[in-house]
Amino acid sequence: MNGYITRKLSLVAAAAAIALGVTAGAATAANADGEPDVPVGTRLAAKAHPAVQLTSLTYSGQVVVPTPEIKQSALQALARQAATAAITGKIAQDERNIAKYIFQKMAANPNAYLRAVGPNRSVDAEVGGLCTGWWVTPDGYMVTGAHCVETGEEQLGQMFAQQALAKFNKEDAAAVLQELGDYQTDEEIVKLATQIFVTFNNTHLKIQGLQKQLSVLQSLPGGGVDKTAKPVPAELVSVGESYPGKDFALLKVNNQQNLPTVPLGDDGDVQTGDTLYISGFPGLVTNTPFFSLESKLDPALTEGPYNAKRTTQTGVPYIQTQAPAYHGNSGGPVFSRQGKVIGMLIAGSVTDGGENTESQTFVLPVSVIKEKLNEKNVKPSQALTSTRYSEALDDFFRHHYSLALPKFREVQALFPNHPYVAKYISDSQQAISSGKDETPSSTLPWILVGGGAVVVVVLAAVVILSLGRKRRRAAAPPVPAGFAAAPPWQPVPGPYGPAGPQHELAGPPYHAPQGYPAQHGAPPRPPYGGQQQNAGDERQLADLERELAELRRRLQDRPSEH
């Protein structure tokens, strides 16, 4: 094989190697793309939080309490008892200790020393609480805890008393201290006197015109929440028994579509030792005056290990976890690391002082949630809003901003009230304009250009080789039909074997035109191994080399993969 052919084949081989390298590199990058390289909690929070909403339970009514009146005979008997205690040395004989003794006895049993008389006093009041809920269908079904949607009568009375009666309690305590007159008072005595009327008024409290409202605080169009946002009424569809029962409630918000949802998993998705993730609105944030409303309405994500599976005395299963949770987290979804709901946060243990402990938080398993949804024929599902948003977030976390941006815009078009998508659109645009986009599709034009160059190179090589073959074949006269090609100047085999001495040389398959003698044999050709080429061959070879050089340059200049 001459050097000319060798050079052409070498160029074709180099082009093929580059093409294979481009293809292999693209395949490797595609195969390496799994979950984005971000912490599990970051990914879960971003994907789940749009479906996690702050729920509100509000009771309003008129709180009515009677006017207290001291039973003089009972108070006089108590005063004599205090004097005897002082004389016998049971208490000190100063006025302060005698007054303290009297108020301690009254606070222990207010109704023994006070009676309810008219006129009644009233005040309008509103009480309630905040919990966490989460969408399970795009058309407005929401899951939360049973204790988040209703309050027992005794607890409700305590809530109204605490909110509405402080003024009355303070006024009543001041009146009785004034009536006792000469007794020396201090802060401790005032507290004891106030406690007398806290207990008395709570006991005689009545609520008139009680109204209950359940609502969900949704974001404003374009995303975000501020003080202009209004709660959206929610209908109570189903409610179970509060903890330690099946603490489940189902709400429905009407006229909804394309709501973001979270997918449900199975009890078997997690086991002891796995990390659990809780999303919700801790009361230590929502009830504090130090944070802005906007920041209060961002869910918080906490995590901790799955400690054990428990069962109540009535047979209700619960998961014990050390993932921190607080008042307000109740009703919030609990996730596996794969991002599926495996339960709902319901309760936590408290110390004797009423403080939450992080060692015992209890989660209602997802199997119970599915059971309750099935009872109401509610089928959890995801809208295109959720799937597109999830895809966009994966692209965003990979820094593939050009891919993420149109998907975020699609989410915004599907659900204009989406609380976070507007910020992601802005961040994606900023990243693209700042040159931070690492979208793999930006390398596609280079791959296509490179692939086109390879095709051109290969085609050029094939054409050149074909031309070379045609020139060589033109050196020998064509072979008649039915005969195989033979080397120049060799006998042509016949159909039954080699031809005899009267053989015919390879000649044209047609007769020479009249006037021209038939030509036997082939035109002269260069000696074997000669390098004779025409100028066209050199130009084609040079073009081939230039194509290959250009391909190498473009591939070197293409954006790097990350």
CATH code, domain with 269: 2.40.10.10
Statement to judge: residues 291 and 364 lie in one domain: yes
* Domain that includes residue 94, residue range: 72-112
SS3 276: strand
Max Cα-Cα span within the chain:
163
Asked, for residue 81, whether it belongs to a domain, the answer is yes
Statement to judge: residues 395 and 320 lie in one domain: no
Asked, for residue 554, whether it belongs to a domain, the answer is no
> Which residues on adjacent β-strands are paired with residue 116?
68
SS3 217: strand
Q: For 382-405, what is the HEC assignment?
A: CCHHHHHHHHHHHHHHCCCHHHHH
Contacts of 483 (CB under 8 A, 6+ apart): 492, 493, 506
Asked, for residue 464, whether it belongs to a domain, the answer is no
Two tokens at 345?
Answer: 């946060």
Residue 227: its pLDDT value, please?
Answer: 64
Residue 542: its pLDDT value, please?
Answer: 62
Q: Which of 434, 455, 474 is the last residue of a domain?
A: 434
Statement to judge: residues 368 and 391 lie in one domain: no
Residue 86: its pLDDT value, please?
Answer: 92
Statement to judge: residues 265 and 316 lie in one domain: yes
Residue 450 φ/ψ region, left for φ over 0, alpha for ψ in the -120 to 50 degree band, beta for the rest: alpha
Asked, for residue 288, whether it belongs to a domain, the answer is yes
Statement to judge: residues 47 and 102 lie in one domain: no
Contact at 8 Å (CB) between 383 and 138? yes
Place of tokens 């293409």: 558
Residue 239: its pLDDT value, please?
Answer: 97
Contacts of 273 (CB under 8 A, 6+ apart): 305, 306
Asked, for residue 328, whether it belongs to a domain, the answer is yes
Asked, for residue 201, whether it belongs to a domain, the answer is no
Contacts of 275 (CB under 8 A, 6+ apart): 40, 303, 304, 305, 306, 337
Task: Give the pairing of strands 356-365 and 206-217.
Answer: unpaired
Tens digit of pLDDT at every position of the chain (562 positions) = 455 555 554 545 554 444 444 444 433 333 344 567 899 999 999 999 999 999 999 999 999 999 999 999 998 999 999 999 999 999 998 888 888 898 899 999 999 999 999 899 999 999 999 999 999 999 999 999 999 999 999 999 999 999 999 999 999 998 888 876 656 678 888 899 999 999 999 999 999 999 999 999 876 665 556 666 678 999 999 999 999 999 999 999 999 999 999 999 999 999 999 999 999 998 877 777 788 777 777 889 999 999 999 999 999 999 999 999 888 999 999 999 999 999 999 998 766 665 656 568 999 999 999 999 999 999 999 989 999 999 999 999 999 999 999 999 999 999 988 889 999 999 999 999 999 999 975 444 443 444 444 444 444 444 444 445 444 444 444 333 332 333 333 333 333 233 333 333 333 333 333 333 333 333 333 333 334 445 555 566 566 566 656 655 555 554 444 4
Statement to judge: residues 267 and 343 lie in one domain: yes
Asked, for residue 29, whether it belongs to a domain, the answer is no
Contacts of 505 (CB under 8 A, 6+ apart): 477, 489, 492, 520, 521
Q: Which of 416, 434, 452 is the last residue of a domain?
A: 434
Asked, for residue 170, whether it belongs to a domain, the answer is no
Domain count, the chain: 3
Statement to judge: residues 354 and 388 lie in one domain: no
Contact at 8 Å (CB) between 258 and 457? no
Statement to judge: residues 263 and 331 lie in one domain: yes
- CA separation for the pair 114, 175 (Å, rounded): 13
Contacts of 362 (CB under 8 A, 6+ apart): 243, 310, 318, 319, 320, 321, 345, 346, 347, 348
- Report how far apart the first and last C-alpha atoms of the chain are (Å, whole number): 45
Q: What is the pTM of this model?
A: 0.69
Statement to judge: residues 330 and 410 lie in one domain: no
Q: Which of 90, 112, 134 is the last residue of a domain?
A: 112
Residue 283: its pLDDT value, please?
Answer: 81
Statement to judge: residues 363 and 414 lie in one domain: no
